């Protein structure tokens, strides 16, 4: 299993500012993922972050808006840039163990972001 | 493509009632199937999983059987408790994870 922590746990930000969310894992993992969970909705994958390479973004998400760093095998950051109220969501970091398809995905506790 | 369709909520049950949350999927090949639970104010936790047809996942009194013929993975529990109040997500894994929209369950004493 993997234990994941995220900072901050929640924040209230002003429109136009940026927030960087940190994700720390207690073991080395190859693939880390960032999800967005908008109020009352399911999870939407933002990007996959692999150590040593550029993050891979899903349709509808771009690097300028959500830059990601992955400096080592236990840590990643997601920045939400130039925020607007539509960015108010829970942002979740996750990792998978072992073979991608057959093992579970572990989630951090999430960062609850409110943009005013 | 790959997708998960989940029973819409919210669902409200009395304590000790029987629970079913329906989940059907569309996938190429043979995905793994999961149920995740999200308690208020917390992240997602794996509840149970099944990796091949006819497998039954079970945990904490919850069960779900991987039915290839009906492409379903319905979640069941024989007697729910107040502590089961949470949002439940069905998911499949096929190159990446795909999540259903979530079903909110409230159990009242």
- Rounded to 5 degrees, φ, ψ at A104 are -80, 165
- Phi-psi label, residue A86: left if phi above 0, alpha if psi -120 to 50, beta otherwise: alpha
Reported as a single tens digit per residue, the pLDDT across B64-95 is 999 999 999 999 999 999 999 999 999 998 87
What confidence tens digit (pLDDT) does each residue in A21-38 have? 999 999 998 889 999 998
Count CB pairs under 8 A between chains A and B: 46
Q: Which residues of A touch B (CB under 8 A)?
A: 4, 33, 41-43, 45, 48, 92, 94, 100-102, 104-110
């Amino acid at each position: 299993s993997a234990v994941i922590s995220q900072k901050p746990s929640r924040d209230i930000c002003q429109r136009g500012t940026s927030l960087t969310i940190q994700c720390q894992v207690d073991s080395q993992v190859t693939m880390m993922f960032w999800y967005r969970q908008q109020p009352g909705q399911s999870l939407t994958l933002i990007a996959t972050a692999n150590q040593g390479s550029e993050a891979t973004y899903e349709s509808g998400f771009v690097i300028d808006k959500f830059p990601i760093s992955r400096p080592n095998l236990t840590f990643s950051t997601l920045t939400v840039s130039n925020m607007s109220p539509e960015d108010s969501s829970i942002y979740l970091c996750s990792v998978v163990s072992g073979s991608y398809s057959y093992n579970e995905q572990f989630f951090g506790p999430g960062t609850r972001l409110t943009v005013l | 493509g790959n997708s998960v369709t989940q029973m819409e909520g919210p669902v409200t049950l009395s304590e000790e009632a029987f629970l079913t949350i329906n989940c059907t999927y569309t996938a190429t090949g043979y995905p793994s199937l999961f149920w995740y639970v999200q308690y208020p104010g917390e992240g997602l936790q794996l509840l149970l999983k099944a990796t091949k047809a006819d497998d039954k996942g079970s945990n904490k009194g919850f069960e779900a059987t991987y039915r290839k013929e009906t492409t379903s993975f319905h979640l069941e529990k024989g007697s729910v408790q107040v502590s089961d109040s949470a949002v439940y997500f069905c998911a499949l894994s096929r190159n990446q994870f795909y999540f259903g929209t979530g079903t909110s369950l409230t159990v009242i004493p």
